[in-house]
Amino acid sequence: MKFGILINEGPFTHQASDSAYRFAVAALAKGHEIYRVFFYKDGVNNANKLSDPQTDDRNLVSLWSELSQENDIDLVVCVAAALRRGIKEEIVKDGFRISGLGQLVEAGIQAERLVVFGD
């Protein structure tokens, strides 16, 4: 099955991003495809390479980046939501790209299921 994933929450204030990451890993392990992961609202904070969690905490920004590069997953950050939060191209971690809501619409069309994490 081909999945699209929408993440609306940041990596450190809500469990949505962690749940989405674990869902993506499990789906890939079962042979499914992740068409695109779209980060919206506070979810855009998942792309901020300046985040520096404690050493004993998971680093979701790096985990998403690595998953993207290992599995050729398109990680798209909503441009409007990113700019509202001070996230510009210069501070976006490798594997992420900034684009518009059209990428979310396309993911909804191309994927067999669009799974939403967070409000």
Residues 6+ apart with CB under 8 A from 25: 67
Q: Is 78 a catalytic residue?
A: yes
Measured in degrees and rounded to the nearest 5, phi and psi for residue 73 equal -100, 135
Question: Which is the catalytic residue, given 78, 82, 92, 104?
Answer: 78
Q: Active-site residue numbers? A: 78
